[in-house]
Structure 1
Amino acid sequence: MNKKPKISSSVSLNMNQKRKRSSLLRLFPLVFLLAMVFLVGNAFITEGISGWSSIIRLNLAKLKMCKTQFRPLGSETLPRGIVASTSDLEMRPLWGSKRNKKPKLNLLAMAAGIKQKESVNKIVKKFSSSEFVVMLFHYDGAVDEWKEFEWSETAIHISVVNQTKWWFAKRFLHPDIVSAYSYIFLWDEDLGVDHFDAKRYVSIVKEEGLEISQPALDPHFSEVHHQLTSRDSKFRVHRRTHKVIGRARCNENSTGPPCTGFVEMMAPVFSRAAWRCTWHMIQNDLNHGWGIDFQLGYCAQGDRTQNIGIVDSEYILHLGLPTLGGSSENKTDLGQLDNTKTQHSSDKSKPSSTPQMSSARSEVRKQTYAELETFKHRWKNAVKNDECWIDRFQH
């Protein structure tokens, strides 16, 4: 009777083991399937993560590139391709397509009073080729009176009474407006140009690598303020003088004005890059521009003793007329003076003068000296307060 339970227990154990093996066999395909799903899924997940990582890296690189990409102030919300950050002085037709013609390469901008129209006409004719845009700054309010000249129709006319060319230049010759032009001629009106050719001049300054220049002044018939700008007939271009100027002895070792690296301000010529720098130096509230000439070396795009020069082969006369500070009715016609070149400069005709005109001119002269001192003071303070600025000409 005791053996029956033992047999029953053994049979029960065997049956349980069979059931377990059967269950394991049934589970094996499921486990295998799950394993395959896991392996395949893991591959997809890995590939997905890798793909997302690449996308993230690309986006980060793009973000970094966009952060370092310069966009003009105010254009940040615009797509880059639509931004027109520069302009020019080219006239456009009101209808129809623009005529297919070469863009003008250089700019002549000058102060102009109607009493000097003959002189201005002679100057403009020297620049009236297809390579030059002409812009006149009318300081006497007279604009229609210039229509007698054929070139007047295509010139740019800007009229504001009793303002200097530096006032006009600061407001109407922004570097982004004139960036299309290789050279900017910023001239006075009291110049004689019989011995000057604009195209030859541009060719020379290009060959010589002059960023800032001026035509030499004929020393016999001109008002010459600085010996450096006086013509030396032995040269095509000169960059320094060897004269004794005041306390300064100019020689080969001289590195700055008034011995080298200097032009006067009646007929300066700037390269595009030099003008961008010079424009920033012109003070908005100082109309006469005094003091800028001695600091132009900082805008010479390198060595001022090499990149600033006087062109002797294309020279001009400077008659030094007081065209501002008096009534326009009393200004001498420089066209008449041009016909008296056989006289020495000290014998040139002088503008008629009245006590009222003399007083006005005296006040203008006082203002120029006051502005010179203001500019020098601002320069000194700017140098003192800018810790990051390095004076490339400091010895």
Structure 2
Amino acid sequence: MDPVSKGAWQKRFFSVAPPAALVFFFVLIFVAGAAVTLDHKESRVSVLQLQPKLVTAAAEMRPPATTSELRAGPAEEPDICESKCRPPGSEALPRGIVQDKSNLEMESMGGNPEREENGSGRRSKSLLAIPVGIKQKAVVDKLVSKFPDTKFTVMLFHYDGEVDGWRDLEWSGRAVHVAARDQTKWWFAKRFLHPDLVAEYDYVFLWDEDVEVDSFDPLRYLRVVRKEGLEVSQPALDRRSQIHHGLTARARRGGGVHRRYYKTKGHGRCYGNSTGPPCTGWVEMMVPVFSRAAWRCAWRMVQNDLVYAWGMDYKLGYCAQGDRRRNVGIVDSQYVLHRGIPTLGGGGGNGNGKPSFSASASALGADRLAVRQRSYTELQVFNRRWKKAVSEDGCWTDPYPNTATTG
């Protein structure tokens, strides 16, 4: 070969050789990788084939798939139907037909039942519930007449079983009447004012019957309550009332609302640093007013078998939806006169609101003594239950652990 030609051939060969070598090198890596992968897969298959009993046993230990799992598909796709919360007892019903709340409104026997759906809905209303006896008819009539029917639904708890004697009153036909002899306000409330039953009412007035309302306007009262953010409240007591705790008496200056009471002398002192009932965050039980949320909480605290609710007034602040020193208060601008007639245990007065002496004094005294004794016993029982509940509930934190009630 010609030296010149030979040199030219070698130059062409080596100019092509490097790319060809690279291609060969990558092909070699690909083949080797495939071989390794195949070997790995074959090894894994071998292991499975060597241990067939273990695989079968693991499959048998797995629980059978439920109908919902089969419908849901892969485990990583949760069933959205099962995650929806349904009221207990409604699981067998389509969600849209379920109504788990009610009210005490009366419905007409005729007319269009869908009028509310086609219109603006029900008006905002509150509930006035009172335990009554026929002997207090005149006083109750005056009380109820103060509450306009467009803004309040009235419910009477007849503890003497007498209902027909109220039919002549103008508002009686639109009131809800419940009768059970010799039962208390809290017995009725626990059984007939379930939060789901009264969920449509903005406020629940749970009042005694022996209350005079000459200086009280319920609509103005609610305006003050809403403005001040009171979840648990009561109208102040006229100073002529039977007053057991200074906090409930109307402030002498006659302002809008007060939430604290000061007493630096004598028994049951209340100072500026007192943080709990009955110095602050407290109302008495004769004329309490609850917001919807506060009543939902308070109803659950009422004990089925403790009919006087003694001791519960000291705990109502836990239902205040926040700081009880702010959300519990006494409304001074709208006040009532509490006459303090002992209607339970054989008392009750006559139609003019004065004590009745139709029964012997000794019989009335014995009945009243029995009522008083049970009240004190219930107070002790409630306090024991509260302490037991606190000690057993490891998930509950007391927002008022170091309450200083009185000095």
SS in 2 for 1:317: strand
- Paired AA for residue 373 in structure 1: Q
CA distance in structure 2 between the aligned counterparts of 1:247 and 1:114, rounded to whole angstroms:
39
1:303-337: CA deviation from partner (whole Å, max 9, x where unpaired)? 000000000000001111110110xxx6323x635
* CA RMSD across the alignment: 1.9
For residues 362 and 382 of structure 2, the distance between their equivalents in structure 1, rounded to whole angstroms, comes to 30
Does 2:67 match 1:60? no
CA distance in 2, matches of 1:148, 1:128: 18
Provide, for residues 104-131 of structure 1, a one-character-per-residue CA deviation record: whole Å limited to 9, x for no partner: 5100001000100011001101113301
Instruction: Tell me if 1:156 matches 2:176.
Output: yes
Residue pairs, 1:1-395, within 5 angstroms: 56=73, 60-61=77-78, 63=79, 65-98=80-113, 102-219=122-239, 221-234=240-253, 235-244=255-264, 248-326=268-346, 331-333=348-350, 336=352, 350-352=355-357, 354-395=361-402
Q: Deviations over 1:356-378 (max 9, x none)?
A: 11111111111111111110110
How big is each residue's C-alpha offset from its partner over 1:145-191, in whole Å with a ceiling of 9 and x where there is no partner? 00110100000000000000100000000000000000000000001
Q: Which residue in 2 is equivalent to 1:24?
A: none
**CA deviation digits over 1:188-220, x for unaligned, max 9?**
00011100001111111000000000000011x
Q: Distance in 1 between matches of 2:268 and 2:317?
A: 18
AA of the residue aligned to 1:81: G
Distance 1:153 1:194 in 2: 24
Counterpart contact for 1:211–1:308, Cα < 8 Å: yes
SS of the equivalent of 1:72 reads: coil
| SS of residue matched to 1:243 | coil
The whole-number CA distance in structure 1 between the counterparts of 2:361 and 2:334 is 37
1:217-273 per-residue CA deviation (whole Å, 9 max, x = no partner) reads 011x21111110000142210000011476543233221101000000000000000
Shift of 1:102: 4.5
The aligned amino acid for 2:272 is: E
Q: Which moved more, 1:359-368 or 1:100-109?
A: 100-109
TM-score (norm 2): 0.76
Distance 1:248 1:357, change over 3 A: closer
* 1:46-74, Cα deviation, whole Å (9 max, x unpaired): xxxxxxxxx8579824x1x4444221111
Q: Does the aligned pair in 1 maintain the 2:202–2:291 contact within 8 Å?
A: yes
CA distance in 2, matches of 1:316, 1:176: 30
SS at match of 2:383: helix
Contact 2:210–2:338 (Cα < 8 Å) also in 1: yes
Match of 2:19 in 1: none
SS of the aligned residue for 1:150 comes to coil
Secondary structure at the residue paired with 1:137?
Answer: strand
TM-score by length of 1: 0.78
Change over 3 Å in CA distance of 1:135–1:146 after alignment to 2: same
Amino acid at match of 1:187: W
Q: Which runs of 5+ in 2 are unaligned?
A: 1-71, 403-407
Q: Size of the alignment, in residue pairs?
A: 323
The 1-side partners of 2:104 and 2:227 are apart by 26
Contact 2:124 2:202 in 1 (8 A): no
- Partners of 2:188 and 2:266 lie apart in 1 by 34
Bigger mean CA deviation after superposition, 361-370 or 246-255: 246-255
CA distance in 1, matches of 2:147, 2:73: 58
Q: What is the distance in 2 between the residues matched to 1:375 and 1:238?
A: 28
Q: Is the 8 A contact 1:128 1:151 kept in 2?
A: no
Residue 351 (structure 1) shift: 4.2
Percent identity between matched residues is 54
CA distance in 2, matches of 1:196, 1:233: 17
The one-letter code sitting in structure 2 at the alignment partner of 1:200 is: R
SS of equivalent to 1:122: helix
Larger displacement relative to structure 2 (112-121 or 66-75): 66-75
Q: Which amino acid aligns with 2:210?
A: D
Q: Residue 128 of structure 1 contacts residue 134 of structure 1 at CA under 8 Å; is this kept in 2? A: no
Superposed structure 1 runs of 4+ greater than 4 Å apart: 55-59, 98-102, 245-248
In 1: Cα distance, 2:257 partner to 2:83 partner: 43
